[in-house]
Every structure is written in C-alpha cells, then in structure tokens.
Amino acid sequence: MKRVEQIVIALGAILLTAALLVRLVSRGGPYFDRPQTIVDHVGREKHETRDALILLPKVAPLIPRGAEVTCFRPGGGQMQYDVPNYFAAIGALPRHNVQPPFVASLNTPRNELVEYVIAIEQPFDHPYFHVVATFPEGRLYKVDR
C-alpha cells in the first residue's frame, strides 16, 4: 500500500511539473529575467498596455502635480477611445487628474482641452498641441492656450 502511494505521489508531481513547463513555454521567454512590466509573460504577443506601462513612469515627472492628462494610442494621428491605456494611466498617475481621451479630440473647444496628452506609439496630430518629450514607447504633448 505504501509503495502505491509513493508511485501516485511521484506521478502527480511529474504531471504538475509537465503542466508548469507547458504553461511557461506557451507564454514565451525569457524565463529567468525579471519582467519589465506586470503584463510581460501574459502571452506570446506583446500586451496592449505594455508600452503605456513603460512610458507612464517616464513622463510622470515631466507633468506638474494635479495637471489634467489623458493617455491613448492615436489612430491615424487622432484621438481614439483607448480604454486599456486610459485605465493604465489612471493606475500609474495617481498624482495627476487623468481624463478620458475624448477631451483631446478635434471637436473639443480649445479652452476645454486637457493640458497634457500621452500618445502611445503613434504620433498625435492636433493643431493645439506641441511635443514636450519623445520616447521609444510614445510622446508627451502639451496644449497651447
């Protein structure tokens, strides 16, 4: 009886180890490096918020405390409602007043535009904003009032 228990325990341990290895391989490497963001190793493809999670800590010191800011991945150079990156900004910029992306649209009156725009990957093309800083993951823009 004791021998059967040992065999069952050993087989269970082997199966669990095999399942863990399959899961690690499916998520892709590098396996022993510290991940740069919390979404690394979620899957083989780059997670949609990865660039924002790298960029937001870089731009946070450039934005005054309490300033209005929004974050999105521009589509065709224009604002688009990008929920994942907007929510990433809410979590990563607790000292700033994060607004939804539509406050940087072409239809928004100039005096109601958000002060800063964090554009992920793509450039943001708006006549009332100018580039403050450029990074590999995106750009920071400030409104011209």
pLDDT in tens, 83-135: 999 999 999 999 999 999 999 999 999 999 999 999 999 999 999 999 999 99
DSSP state of 46: P
Q: What is the reported pLDDT for 142?
A: 97
Q: What is the reported pLDDT for 42?
A: 74
pLDDT greater than 80 at residue 5: yes
pTM check: above 0.85: no
Residue 52 CB-density burial (10 A; 0-12 exposed, 13-18 middle, 19+ buried): buried
Q: Distance between the two ends of the chain, CA-based, in angstroms? A: 82
What counts of helices (H) and strands (E) characterise the chain?
A: 3, 5
Among the residue ranges 21-25, 30-34, 52-56, 98-102, the one predicted with the least confidence is 30-34
Percentage of the residues of the chain whose pLDDT score is greater than 90: 72
pLDDT greater than 90 at residue 67: yes
Spell out the domain ranges in the chain. 1-33, 50-143
Q: What is the reported pLDDT for 46?
A: 81
pLDDT in tens, 48-63: 899 999 999 999 999 9
Over range 133-145, report the average pLDDT: 94
For the beta carbon of residue 76, count every other beta carbon within 10 angstroms.
8
Q: What is the reported pLDDT for 95?
A: 96
| Mean pLDDT, the chain, integer | 91
Q: What is the reported pLDDT for 29?
A: 67
Strands (E), the chain: 68-72, 97-98, 116-120, 129-135, 138-143
